[in-house]
Amino acid sequence: MKSIASFVLGLSMASSAFAGQVPEVVIDRGGVEFSGRGCMEDNLPLISVPQLTNNESGGNLDFIFDGFEVDNFEAKTLSRSCTIFTPIKVPPGYRVKVKSVAFEGETDLMAEGNANISVRHRLAGTVGAAYSESFDLSETFEVEQSFNVAEGWDYRGCGEDFSLKTTIKIRSRNGYISIDGGALKQPALSYKFEYDHC
């Protein structure tokens, strides 16, 4: 399968302090940047227009992947990477915290095969956070990672805009690995946000 990366970004925020009101936290569409062989084909970015939804249950920044994979049944290791830079605009009177991230995918490996996934997150004012795992069996994986407040992953300043940088790298030898939400195109990577009135 040819690797095609397409992303749909959705951010939903809710207000418990003011019933029926939601802060208009938005993605700065013009500032979203994608780079890396996993995000591109024929030197053009293959992404959808960011989508914004609002509800009363909290906030989610969702990425939908379509074909972000390494299909390599050879002895030489191949890799694919994608970096996503997402600027977020916060209205006056609110502050936002990036609480956690969840992502999923699958591997299909030969007896002597192996694969690896590495996901790095960077938020201004933090030391960054990373997750890495290697596989030597075929499996479906689901990961949820909480961010450490002590390392700066706390509420941003009141009305403070911020940017989130995500770098995903997958590698495979004698096998296949993908980040994929399945046939129904569910988000394969999703950040959870919390907000507060300030």
Evaluate if residue 2 carries a pLDDT over 80: no
**44-48, 124-128, 130-134 — which is least confidently predicted?**
44-48
* Domains parsed from the chain with CATH numbers: 26-197 (2.60.120)
* Nearest in space to 13 (alpha carbons), one of 62, 63, 60: 60
Contacts of 151 (CB under 8 A, 6+ apart): 126, 127, 129
The pLDDT of residue 51: 57
Compute the distance between CA of residue 96 and CA of residue 98 in angstroms, rounded to an integer. Answer: 7
Compute the distance between CA of residue 61 and CA of residue 13 in angstroms, rounded to an integer. Answer: 10
Evaluate if residue 193 carries a pLDDT over 80: yes
Long-range contact pairs involving 32-36 (C-beta distance under 8 Å, separation at least 24): 32/84, 32/85, 32/86, 32/87, 33/83, 33/84, 33/85, 34/5, 34/7, 34/82, 34/83, 34/84, 34/85, 35/82, 35/83, 36/80, 36/81, 36/82, 36/83, 36/167
The pLDDT of residue 42: 61
Is residue 81 within 8 A of residue 119, CB to CB? The reply is no
CA angle, residues 43, 46, 47, in degrees to nearest 5: 140
pLDDT in tens, 138-161: 989 888 889 888 777 888 899 999
For the chain, the C-alpha Rg in angstroms (whole number) is 18
Contacts of 153 (CB under 8 A, 6+ apart): 97, 98, 99, 123, 126, 129, 147
Most confident of 125-134, 144-153, 160-169: 160-169
The pLDDT of residue 3: 39
**Pick the residue with more confidence: 29 or 167?**
167
The predicted model scores a pTM of: 0.78
Average pLDDT, the chain: 77
pLDDT in tens, 11-45: 444 334 445 577 778 888 788 888 877 776 666 55
Q: What's the whole-number mean pLDDT along residues 111-126?
A: 87
- Three-class secondary structure assignment of 67-121: CEEEEECCCCCEEEEEEEEEEEECCCCEEEEEEEEEEEEEEEEEEEEEEEEEEEE
The pLDDT of residue 153: 85
